[in-house]
Chains A and B, each alone.
Chain A
Amino acid sequence: MMRNWYDVAIIGGGITGASIARELSRYRLKIVLLEKEVELAFGVSKSNSGIIHPGTQNPPDSLKGKLCVRGNLLTRKIAGELGVDFKEVGELIVIFNEDERPRLLQIKNEAETLGVPGLKIVDRKWLDEHEPNLSREVIAALYAPTAGIISPYRMVYDLAENAVKNGVQIFLGHKVIGITKEAGNLRLNVAVSSGEEPRGRACRQAGSLAGSECTFRSRFVVNAAGLFADEVSALAGVNDFKIRPRKGEEFLLDKKKEHLTNHIIFPLPTKTSKGILVIKTSDGNPMIGPTAQEIDDKNDLSTSDDGLSKVIEGARKMIPTIDGNDIIAYFAGLRPVAGDDFIIRREEKVPGFINVAGIQSPGLTAAPAVALMAVELLKKSGLRLAKKWLFKKHRHPSVHLFADLFSKTRELIKKNPSYGEIVCRCEMVSAKEVRDAIRRGARTLDGIKFRTRAQAGRCHGGFCTIRIIKIMHEELGIPYTEITKRGNGSEVVRGVRE
Chain B
Amino acid sequence: MENRNNVKERELVVVGGGPAGMAAALSAYENGVRDILLIERDQYLGGILNQCIHPGFGLRYFRENLTGPEYADRFIKKISAVPSIEISLKSYAVNLTAGRYLAYIKPGKMEEVKAKAIIMATGCRERTREMVHIAGTRPAGIYPAGLAQKMINLEGWLPGREVVIVGSGDIGLIMARRFTLEGAKVKAVIEIQKTSRGLIRNVVQCLEDFGIPLYFSHKISRIHGRDRVEKVEVVEVDDSFNEKPQTRFEITCDTVLMSVGLIPENELIELAGVAIDKKTNTPVSAEVNKTSVPGIFVCGNSFKIYDLVDGVTYDSAKAGKMAAEYLKGLK
Contacts and interface: CB of A to CB of B under 8 A. Distances in A.
Decide whether A and B are members of one complex: yes
Contacts of B126: 459, 462
A450 B97 CA distance: 31
A407 interface: yes
A310 interface: no
Interface stretch (A103-111, A159-167, A300-308): A300-308
B3 A407 contact: yes
A38 to B, nearest CB: 11
Contacts of B92: 422, 425
A417 B108 contact: yes
B160 interface: yes
A384 interface: no
Interface stretch (B12-20, B27-35, B138-146, B202-210): B138-146
Say which size band chain B's interface belongs to.
35 or more
Given A413-B108, A422-B92, A489-B228, A494 B130 contact: no
A493 interface: yes
A494 B160 contact: yes
Contact of A493 (B138, B151, B278): B151
Interface in B174-225: 222
A79 interface: no
Interface stretch (B65-73, B74-82, B99-107, B299-307): B99-107
Contact of A422 (B105, B131, B137): B105
Given A459-B125, A462-B125, A466-B150, A407 B139 contact: no
A409 B105 contact: yes
A394 interface: no
User: Most chain-A Cβ atoms within 10 A of its Cβ — which of B135, B139, B159?
Assistant: B135
A330 B159 contact: no
Contacts of A308: 133, 135
A43 to B, nearest CB: 14
Interface stretch (A67-75, A92-100, A478-486): A478-486
B60 interface: no
Contact of B228 (A256, A409, A490): A490
B59 interface: no
B321 interface: no
Contacts of B108: 413-414, 417, 420
B131 A328 contact: yes
B287 to A, nearest CB: 26
- In terms of DSSP, what is the predominant structure of the interface of chain B? mixed
A304 B135 contact: yes
A409 B138 contact: no
Contacts of A418: 107
A492 B255 CA distance: 10
A462 B147 contact: yes
Given A302-B136, A308-B133, A406-B1, A498 B109 contact: no
Contacts of A329: 130
A421 B105 CA distance: 8
Interface in A466-485: 466, 480, 484-485
A436 B159 CA distance: 26
Contacts of A211: none
A480 B157 contact: yes
Interface in A397-450: 405-407, 409-410, 413-414, 417-418, 420-422, 425, 428, 445
A327 B130 contact: yes
B226 A409 contact: no
Interface in B116-162: 125-126, 128-131, 133, 135-141, 144, 146-147, 150-151, 154-161
Contact of A256 (B95, B107, B267): B267
A413 B109 contact: yes
Nearest to B254: A494
Given A406-B110, A420-B108, A463-B125, A487 B159 contact: no
B41 A497 contact: no
Interface string B291-316: 00000000000000000000000000
A490 B139 contact: yes
A245 B179 CA distance: 40
A102 interface: no
Contact of A421 (B107, B139, B228): B107
Given A409-B105, A420-B109, A462-B147, A302 B128 contact: no
Nearest to A459: B125
Contacts of A460: 128-130, 144
B270 interface: yes
B65 to A, nearest CB: 26
A422 B110 CA distance: 11
A410 B110 CA distance: 5
A121 B3 CA distance: 43
A60 interface: no
Given A299-B226, A459-B128, A465-B147, A491 B140 contact: yes
B227 A486 contact: yes
Interface string A249-271: 00000001000000000000000
A497 B184 CA distance: 13
Contact of B41 (A425, A486, A488): A425
A408 B138 CA distance: 36
Contacts of A323: 278
A305 B135 CA distance: 6
B94 interface: yes
A101 interface: no
A118 interface: no
A420 B278 CA distance: 31
B155 A466 contact: yes
A324 B226 CA distance: 26
A331 interface: yes
B90 interface: yes
B125 to A, nearest CB: 4
A461 interface: yes
Given A488-B227, A492-B141, A462 B135 contact: no
A323 B131 CA distance: 12
A458 interface: yes
B124 to A, nearest CB: 10
Nearest to A489: B227
B227 A490 contact: yes
Given A417-B107, A462-B125, A497-B156, A485 B140 contact: yes
A492 B138 CA distance: 13
Closest 9 CB pairs of A and B: A489-B227, A417-B108, A497-B156, A495-B158, A485-B140, A490-B227, A490-B140, A410-B110, A460-B128
Given A414-B109, A496-B157, A497-B158, 9 more contacts: A301-B138, A302-B137, A325-B278, A325-B279, A414-B108, A414-B110, A490-B228, A492-B140, A494-B160
Interface of A: 256, 299, 301-305, 308, 323-325, 327-331, 405-407, 409-410, 413-414, 417-418, 420-422, 425, 428, 445, 458-463, 465-466, 480, 484-498
15 contacts: A301-B137, A302-B136, A305-B133, A325-B279, A328-B130, A406-B94, A413-B105, A420-B109, A459-B126, A462-B125, A466-B154, A485-B227, A490-B140, A493-B157, A493-B159
Interface of B: 1-3, 41, 90, 92, 94-95, 103, 105-110, 125-126, 128-131, 133, 135-141, 144, 146-147, 150-151, 154-161, 222, 226-228, 254, 267, 270, 278-279
